[in-house]
Structure 1
Amino acid sequence: MPALSTGSGNYSGLCELLCALPSQLQPHVHSQDDSTFLHNMFGERSLHSLVKIHERLQHYEERSPAPILDSAGSLATDLSEELQGKSASEEISELLNLLAKPHVKSLLSVHDTVAQKNYDPELPPLPDDIDDDEVSVKIIRLVKNKEPLGATIKRDEHTGAILIARIMRGGAADRSGLIHVGDVLREVNGVPVDDKKPDEIIHILSQSQGAITFKLIPAIKEETPSKEPKMFVKTLFDYEPAEDKAIPCKEAGLAFKRGDILHIMSQDDANWWQAKQDGHANPRAGLIPSKQFQERRFALRRPAASVLQPQKISNRRSSGFRRSFRLSRRDKKTNKSMYECKKSEQYDMADVATYEEVTPHRRQSGAKHRLVVLVGPTGVGLNELKRKLLISDPQHFSVTVPHTSRPKRNQENEGVEYHFISKNIFETDIHNNKFIEHGEYKGNYYGTSLDSVRSVLSKNKVCLLDVQPHTIKHLRTAEFKPYVVFVKPPPVERLRESRRNAKVSSGKDDKGSAKSFSEEDFLEMVSTAQQMESQHGHLFEKIIVNDDLTAAFSELKMALKKVETDTHWVPISWTHS
C-alpha cells in the first residue's frame, strides 16, 4: 500500500488512494457484503470532505496565517445595516439572509475570539461595599474541577478569624500562587464566613461547582517557598486518613500501604508532613503523620515492656528455630535458651517502625553482591530453596560455614562442615559481638559469624543466609546491604495437600531424624509466619508464598537476578556512610 502523505499538494493523491483502497483490499475480502461496505465507506462524500478540510487546514497551518482583522462580527453587523438602505436585489437579499443566520454569527464570533487570542476568564468586579479603613483584600477566583483545592483552614484561637492553615504542595491552590498560609478568609462565593465553623465552610466548598470566588485578607508576611531537599521515605506501616481522628482534614490525607515509597514535599508542620506517592501522576501532595508524631502515637499504643525486644529467644516451637541449629523436641524441654543475637541498644530503642529515608541504589559492576537473607517458619522450605539455588549455579551462590566448639569428627574437615574453635575462643568471640547468631547444645557452642559472611562476599559470590527475623536489624548495614526475602506458607488447606508426603527434620546436627508433617505442624507454621510478618514485615523486601517449590524457586531466582541488575530503594545510610 502506498505511503500516506498529508502535504497540501497531495489532496488529489489522497482521494485517489481512498478510492483505490477497496480494490487493493479485494483479495482479503471474503464476502460481497464486506466488499459493498468498503466501497460505500471509502466512497462516502462526507469522508472526502473531511479529508479536504484537513488538507486545507494543514496547508494554512504551514503558512502560519495571521488574521487580517479581529472584528469580523462587528464588521458583518455594520455591513448588514449598510445594505438595508440599498435597493433590493437578489444578491443583496441572499447576503443579508446569510449574515443573519445564527450559525454564521457564531462562526464570526469564534473567529474574533481566536484572532484576539483572549482566552482568560473575566475576573469579577471588586465589591462596592469595601470600607475605606479596611485592610487590603484579595479577590481570587479558582475554577474547581474534580480535584480538591488543596488547602486546609482553621479558626484562630485569639481573634476567631478563619485562617488558611496550610497549602498542599502541587494542589490547585499552590499552583495558582494566589493563596498563602495565614491569609484570612472572609467570603466564599459572596457568603461571609466569619460566623461559620470550618466544617461548614468545607461543606460550602464541597458543594460548589465551577468557579469559586474567595475574598481574603493577605497575611502580614506571605510564606516564602521552602527549598527543602528532595527526600524519599519507605513507609513501614499502613495508614488510612479516613480512620485517623487526629488528622486536620481527612480529605487532604494521603493513604498508603507498608512498603510504599513517598516523596516528602514539606515538613513545615511538626505533626503533619506533606507527601505524594513516588511516580504518581497526581501532582497534589497529601497529609501524612510526621515521623515524630507517629512514633509518639505508636509508643502510647503498646505496653512499655514491649518496646524493648528481649535479647534471648525462648525455646517455644512457635519461635521458628533456624534449621541448621534446630533442637529436637526432647531437648527443647531441658534447654532454657538456644539463640542469642548481638545486643544493640540503638536498634532496640528504634523498634517503633514509621518511615525510613531511602535512596535509589544500583549495584555497580564488580562491586560486592548484596547479602541475601531468607526468613521463614520451620518447614516452609528454606533449606530446599537454598539447595536449589546452590545446585543451579554453584559458582555464583554460596552459604556460610558455621562455627562450633565441639571436637572434630573423623570424617569432617576444617572449614567444610564447620570451623572448629575452642570453647574459650568461642566465648571471647561472643563477647566481641562476632556472631550473628549463636547457641549452646549439649555443652557445645554453635554459631554463624560475621566473618563467615564476609568470606563468601569477598569471593564475589552471593551469600545465602537464613536467620531468625529479629537478627535482620543487626545485618542492615552499608557493608552487607541485605536483601530480605520472606518465605511464607500457603493456607493450611493447601499445606495439607502439598505437604502430604513431605518430611520435617526433628533433630539437630547431622544425626537428626525426619518425620511426616502433622496437623499441629501445619497450624504452627501458618501461625509463626503471621507473627513474623506482623512483627518484622517492614524489613521484608520480597515475600514469596511457597505453595509449589518449583514456582517459588523460579520467583526467587528472578528476584535475585533483579537485585543484581535493577535499581532498588535502600536506606540512605547505606550509600552515605
Structure 2
Amino acid sequence: MKIHEKLRQYERQSPTPVLHSASTLAEDVAEELQSGPMSAEEKELLHLLTSPHLQAVLSVHDTVAQKNFDPVLPPLPDDFEDELDEESVKIVRLVKNKEPLGATIRRDESTGAVIVARIMKGGAADRSGLVHVGDELREVNGSSVMHKRPDEISQLLSQSQGSITLKIIPAIREEDKLKESKVYMRALFDYTPLEDKATPCQEAGLPFKRGDILQVVSQDDQTWWQAKRVADCNLRAGLVPSKQFQERWDKTSIKHTPYYLKASQHITIRINKLLYMQSLELAAYLYTGSLGARINELKQKVIAENPHRYAVAVPHTTRPKKSNEKEGVEYHFVTKQVFDADAQNNKFIEYGEYKENLYGTSIEAIRSVQAKNKMCLVDVQPEALKALRTAEFKPYVIFVKPRIPESRRRRSAATSPGGEHGRITEEDLQEMRLSAQQTDQQYGHLVDRVLIKEDTACAELRSILERLERETFWVPVSWAKA
C-alpha cells in the first residue's frame, strides 16, 4: 500500500526524466575512472557502475524515458461528415485495450434510440469524461447502430480494440461525473454475474464472495448499484444487485436466507468478546462426541494459556452446590424462584433445563468479564446471536462445527463402545448436511469465521485471537455510532 501511495504521489507530480541516456553516462564515468589511479570510493563506484544488475536498471530507465506513452489517435477521416447539425453531434474517439468500455446501453421504448444507460466508475468511458448518461449513440467506428439490438452493439463495442470512434448526440443535460461515495457494504451472499440472467450486462457485473467488503460508488439506479471490492487492484466499478432488488428477488425464490448487503464501516474498534456458535447437527455426536464439550475444551485451553486476557462468563444454575465448588467460580447458585424471575426479566442471553436443573448465561456475567478488561469467551445456541450482536458487545462470531464425512462413507465413533451403534449411516450424513445447510441459511450472515473442529482447531483459534488483538475489522456502521 505504501508503494502504491508513493507511485500515485509521483504520478500527480508528472515526473520527467532528467536525461534519456543514463547507460551512456554510466559508461563514460566508468571509462574516466579507469584512466588513472583510483581511491577506495572510486573503486566502489566503478564496481557498482559495471555490475550487471545496475546496468540492467539503467537500460530499462532509458527505454522508458525515450518512449512516448501518450495515446496517439489517428486523424478523423475527411468524409466523416455529420448528417445532423454540427452543434448537435459529438464525435468521441477513445483508446481502449482489452478492458471493457465501461458503459451500458438501453433502447428507448418510445423513440427507439440507443441511449447510454450507465457509466462505470473508473472505466475507459468515465476516465475520458466525454461520454455521459443519457447520450444517444448513433455510430460505432462508422457503423450505424440504429437498427442493431443492444446485445449486438455491446458485442461490437467489446470486440473493438485500440481506438474506437463513437458518434453520439449529447444528452440535453450532461450529468456530472460519478462521485465516489463512502458507503461500504459487507456481502452476505456469493454473486456470479455470468450466472445471473437478470443483469443488464454480464460483462459489467462484479463477482464477489460472502464476506467481501464492497464500496458502493453509485446508487443512482434503484436496481443495479455500481461497486468496487475493497483492496481490489481493479479501479473500475462493476454492477451488483441493489439491496432492495436482491431482497425482492429472494422473496420470490425458494431461498430463506436474508441475502442482502449490510452496511459496514472500517474503523479501529476493539472486539469486546468472542462468541462460539454451536452446530445444530445432532447426528454428528455419534462420531465426534458432544460438540458442546469439544467447544468447552477449546475455551479452556485458550484461557489456560492466557488467563489474564481471556475468561468465560460464569453461568447460573439451580442445582445444589458441590462440596468442592465455590460461589461465583464454577457457577452462580440461585434458587428456582430467583432463576425464573431473572428469566422473566430477560436477564439471560439463553437458558435451559438439564436433569431437572436450570442453567443459564446472564448478560451481567458477560459484562462482569468485560469490566475486568478481558475478552469473554461464550458458546451459545444460534438463536442467541441476534441478542448479542449489538453495539454494546461488538462480538466476533465463530461457527465451530464438526467435519462431515464424504458421502457413502461410514466411520466409527471414537467415543462409542463399538458395534452398529457406532456406525454412521447414509441417512445420518444426509441429515447432518441438511442441518448444516439450514444453519448457514438462517445464521450464516451473523458469522465472522467458520472453524472446523479438528486437530488444528486450537492453533487456528489462537491465530484468530492474536489477529483480534492487533488488527482492525469491518463492523456494522451502527456499532461505530453507538
Partner of 2:465: 560
Q: Tell me the secondary structure at the aligned position of residue 474 of structure 1.
A: helix
Partner of 1:414: 327
Partner of 1:405: 318
Higher mean Cα deviation, 208-217 or 228-237? 228-237
For 1:50-73, what per-residue CA distance to the aligned partner results, in whole angstroms no more than 9, with x for missing partners? 89x969979xx9xxxxxxxxxxxx
Partner of 1:472: 385
Distance 1:489 1:436 in 2: 24
- TM-score, reference length from structure 1: 0.66
Cα–Cα, structure 1 residues 518 and 418, in superposed 2: closer, same or farther, change >3 Å? Answer: farther
Partner of 2:40: none
1:569 partnered with 2:474:
yes
Aligned partners of 1:235 and 1:262 also within 8 Å: yes
Distance 1:118 1:171 in 2: 18
Q: Give the superposition deviation at 1:134.
A: 6.7
Distance 1:55 1:175 in 2: 28
> Which consecutive unaligned segments of at least 5 residues does structure 1 have?
17-41, 62-109, 307-350, 505-515
Distance 2:260 2:232 in 1: 21
Aligned partners of 1:11 and 1:55 also within 8 Å: no
1:266 partnered with 2:218:
yes
Partner of 2:3: none
Superposition misfits of 4+ residues, deviation over 6 angstroms: 13-16, 53-58, 496-499
Q: Tell me the secondary structure at the aligned position of residue 88 of structure 2.
A: coil
Distance 1:362 1:503 in 2: 47
1:487 partnered with 2:392:
no
For 1:512-539, what per-residue CA distance to the aligned partner results, in whole angstroms no more than 9, with x for missing partners? xxxx965269846665444423432222
For 1:474-519, what per-residue CA distance to the aligned partner results, in whole angstroms no more than 9, with x for missing partners? 211111111111223224269x999854479xxxxxxxxxxx9652
Q: What does 1:243-254 correspond to in 2, within 5 Å?
A: 243-254=195-206
Partner of 2:263: 357
What is the CA RMSD across the aligned residues, in angstroms? 3.6
**Residue type at the aligned position of 1:153:** I
Cα–Cα, structure 1 residues 571 and 55, in superposed 2: closer, same or farther, change >3 Å? Answer: closer
1:160 pairs, out of 93, 112, 122, with 112
Partner of 2:167: 215
Q: What does 1:261-410 correspond to in 2, within 5 Å?
A: 261-302=213-254, 352-363=258-269, 370-377=272-279, 379-380=290-291, 381-410=294-323
Aligned partners of 1:375 and 1:382 also within 8 Å: no
Aligned partners of 1:362 and 1:565 also within 8 Å: no
Cα–Cα, structure 1 residues 227 and 145, in superposed 2: closer, same or farther, change >3 Å? Answer: closer
**Residue type at the aligned position of 1:574:** W
Aligned length: 426
> Which consecutive unaligned segments of at least 5 residues does structure 2 have?
1-22, 36-49, 280-284
1:460 pairs, out of 373, 379, 394, with 373
Distance 2:106 2:61 in 1: 57
What is the percentage of aligned positions where both structures have the same residue? 49
2:424 pairs, out of 510, 519, 526, with 519
Aligned partners of 1:363 and 1:565 also within 8 Å: no
Partner of 2:442: 535
Distance 1:558 1:452 in 2: 26
Cα–Cα, structure 1 residues 558 and 179, in superposed 2: closer, same or farther, change >3 Å? Answer: same
Partner of 1:92: none
Partner of 1:188: 140
1:10 partnered with 2:24:
no
For 1:392-425, what per-residue CA distance to the aligned partner results, in whole angstroms no more than 9, with x for missing partners? 1222221111112344455543222322233333
Aligned partners of 2:413 and 2:423 also within 8 Å: no
Distance 1:554 1:5 in 2: 57
Q: Tell me the secondary structure at the aligned position of residue 481 of structure 2.
A: coil
Distance 2:410 2:34 in 1: 68
Structure of higher RCO (CA pairs closer than 8 Å, 6+ residues apart): 2
Q: Give the superposition deviation at 1:451.
A: 0.8
Cα–Cα, structure 1 residues 130 and 260, in superposed 2: closer, same or farther, change >3 Å? Answer: same
1:225 pairs, out of 177, 187, 193, with 177
